[in-house]
Each structure stands twice: as structure tokens, then as C-alpha cells.
Amino acid sequence: MSKIKKAFENGKAFIPFITCGDPNLDITEELVYAMEEAGADLIELGIPFSDPTAEGSVIQAASLRALNGGVTTDKIFEMIKRIRKNSGIPLAIMTYANVVFSYNTEKFIKTMGEMGVDALILPDVPFEEKEEFSLVCEKYDVDFISLIAPTSNERVEKVAREAKGFVYCVSSLGVTGTRTDISNDIGSSVEMIRNKSNLPCAIGFGISTPEQAKKMASLSDGVIVGSAIVKLCGEYGEECVPIVKDFVMEMKEAIRTV
């Protein structure tokens, strides 16, 4: 069984995202340990893609830096194997369909299962196309994560019904990246999901401050924060580990008791 459920057992879950290989894979590995210590419940490891169409400028730039630094899917898998020797924290891989497909979908997901990665998130694979990946995921005990957007409306029901692990609720329109204003509309989507599924719901996209995290956590079971952390990695480079650690700690504190 995947360990996703465990991630939602310590109060509201805090789920950070980092781009693997930005600034390098040694730092990425250190970041995982540091964030686990700081209270992260599930960590999303981003495998960079050359043309990430669902990302805003921060993660686009990080992806490019990582790829220019020579990161590949195989090198990231080696790093995850090292992590798994030291840590049992729930892990998810977030990347794009082509990264999985070109590696060979079966081989990619089988490797994930063997390494003990718990979930796969592909933002460019909607409900209509998911079977190509989700059927393989079932075979290797990896949860294929479904996303719900503010535009999903009547689609929420069917997406939620077949979801696995947790439901990823996209907070607002647009791509990833920090926003000053996130509406509360997502609350009604979460309610709709809860009517159809017992899975936890985590809200992501645009959350960067403890206040925003608190607000989103009050509407759901956890929050996902990507760009705000990736931005720190970009700013501080190899010095980013303690800074990210403090940030994660502050965010987890803010939502723990919501």
C-alpha cells in the first residue's frame, strides 16, 4: 500500500514541491531530509521537463536550470534510491506525460514502485487520458493523483470517484506561481469531492504565505506549496537548505492546528 494516507495523519498536511536538480541533486537530497525534519508530510519531487505548460515563470526557470545542470530521469531515480535508504517519508513524483512516456511508461512506474515512491502527478493528463498511466500505476501500487480545477464543475464527480491517494485541488485559474489573492471558491469544490470520495483533498497553486496556507487548510486536508519554495532555491542556490527548512517549519506550524 502506498503511504499517502499516512501523510494526512498529523493534522493538516503540508506538502512541499521542489524541482529535482535545482541547484543540484545533492542539495535536492538534503532538502528532502530538511523538509521532513521541519514537518513536511509528503514531498513532491519535480522531474524537470523542457516545456512545462502548466507552470509559471518560477518553476519554468528552475526546470531550465536543472536541465542545463545535466539532470536526467535516471540520475533522479538514483537520488531517490539514496533517499529511501535514509527516509520513509511519503514521496510523489510530479512531472509531465512525455517524461514518463519517453522513458517507457511501464518501466518508469515499475521503477517508482520498486523505489517506494507513493504517487505520480501528471498535470497534463486529465481524466480522459489517465488510463494509459493509471492502469500501470495500479499494477505497481503507485497512486495516480487526479486534479480538480475551479473550472471542473460537473466533472468533479467522475474525477473524484476514480481518484486515488489524495485529490489535488487547483486553487485558481492559471498556472503555478505565487498569487496575492486566492478566492474561497475552491471550498465548494472540496465539498463536492467529499460527497463522492473519502480521500483527503489538498489545495495547491499560488499559496506562498502562512496566512494563505491557514486559509486553504481550513477548507481542506492539506496544502501544496511549490513556487514559493522553488523561488527560495533559485535565490539562495546551494545555501538554500536552512532557509527552506525554516520556511517549511513556519508553514507547517501555521496549518497544524487549523
Rule CB under 8 A: is residue 43 a binding residue for other proteins? no
Beta-carbon contacts of residue 57 (< 8 Å; ≥ 6 apart): 177
Min. distance of Cβ 133 from other proteins in angstroms?
Answer: 10
Rule CB under 8 A: is residue 49 a binding residue for other proteins? yes
Does residue 128 carry a catalytic annotation?
A: no
Pairing of strands 201-204, 13-19: unpaired
**C-beta closer to other proteins: residue 153 or 188:** 153
Rule CB under 8 A: is residue 126 a binding residue for other proteins? yes
Question: Which residue from 1, 9, 128, 181 is in contact with other proteins, where contact means CB under 8 A?
Answer: 128
DSSP state letter for 14: E
**C-beta closer to other proteins: residue 142 or 149:** 149
Residue of 62, 49, 56, 53 whose CA lies nearest to 18: 62
Active-site annotation holder among 9, 30, 37, 55: 55
Does residue 55 carry a catalytic annotation?
A: yes
Rule CB under 8 A: is residue 66 a binding residue for other proteins? no
Q: How far apart are CA 167 and CA 163, in angstroms?
A: 7
Question: Which residue from 86, 98, 183, 188 is in contact with other proteins, where contact means CB under 8 A?
Answer: 98
> Do 73 and 47 form a contact (C-beta atoms < 8 A)?
yes
Beta-carbon contacts of residue 83 (< 8 Å; ≥ 6 apart): 29, 32, 33, 91
Question: Which residue from 86, 153, 184, 188 is in contact with other proteins, where contact means CB under 8 A?
Answer: 153
Rule CB under 8 A: is residue 147 a binding residue for other proteins? yes
Binding-residue total with other proteins (CB under 8 A): 41
Question: Which residue from 37, 114, 124, 211 is in contact with other proteins, where contact means CB under 8 A?
Answer: 124
Binding to other proteins (CB under 8 A) within 197-256 occurs at none
Beta-carbon contacts of residue 205 (< 8 Å; ≥ 6 apart): 170, 171, 172, 174, 175, 176, 177, 179, 224
Which three-class secondary structure state does DSSP give residue 142?
coil
Sheet holding 13-19, edge to edge: 143-144, 119-121, 91-94, 43-46, 13-19, 222-225, 201-204, 167-170, 146-148
Question: Which residue from 58, 59, 117, 149 is in contact with other proteins, where contact means CB under 8 A?
Answer: 149
**C-beta closer to other proteins: residue 168 or 247:** 168
Rule CB under 8 A: is residue 102 a binding residue for other proteins? yes
> Judging by beta carbons within 10 Å of its beta carbon (0-12, 13-18, 19+), is residue 3 exposed, middle or buried?
middle
Which residues are at the interface with other proteins (CB under 8 A)? 49-51, 53-54, 56-57, 60, 64, 67, 72-74, 96-103, 123-129, 147-153, 155, 159, 170, 173-175
Active site residues: 44, 55
